[in-house]
Amino acid sequence: MGEPIRCDHGKTPEQRIIELEAKVKLLEKQKARAEHLAERADKKVIIFDMLVDMAEKEYDIAYQKNYTPELLNASKKIKKKQ
């Protein structure tokens, strides 16, 4: 028979499939790692929020301030006047 069909810079279709399978495995591994890190980060945020809540109650302080845009703009205007 003749020479095997080559594509993508002289690689056979079988070689290309093997390369693509390796890339897929690598991407799956990277995706799993990213998902793990995202889950871990979410847990850290929850723990941090819990610690802040505990500190606020324990020391009677207000650390977390949830401003609406209107309140935030009003507070900026007040600071400028002072």
Total number of domains constituting the chain:
1
Among 47, 42, 43, 49, CA closest to 64: 49
**Structural domain span for residue 37:** 13-81
pLDDT tens, the chain, 82 aa long: 556 666 667 899 999 999 999 999 999 999 999 999 999 999 999 999 999 999 999 998 887 666 566 655 665 555 555 4
Note whether residue 37 is domain-resident: yes
Q: Is residue 32 part of a domain?
A: yes
In a domain, 7, yes or no: no
DSSP assignment letter at 8: T
Q: Give pLDDT, residue 63.
A: 73
pLDDT of residue 75: 56
Position 10 scores a pLDDT of 84
66 within domain boundaries:
yes
Asked if residue 28 belongs to a domain, the reply is yes
d(CA 76, CA 54) in angstroms, rounded, equals: 29
33 within domain boundaries: yes
- pLDDT for 6 equals 60
Query: Is residue 61 domain-resident?
Result: yes
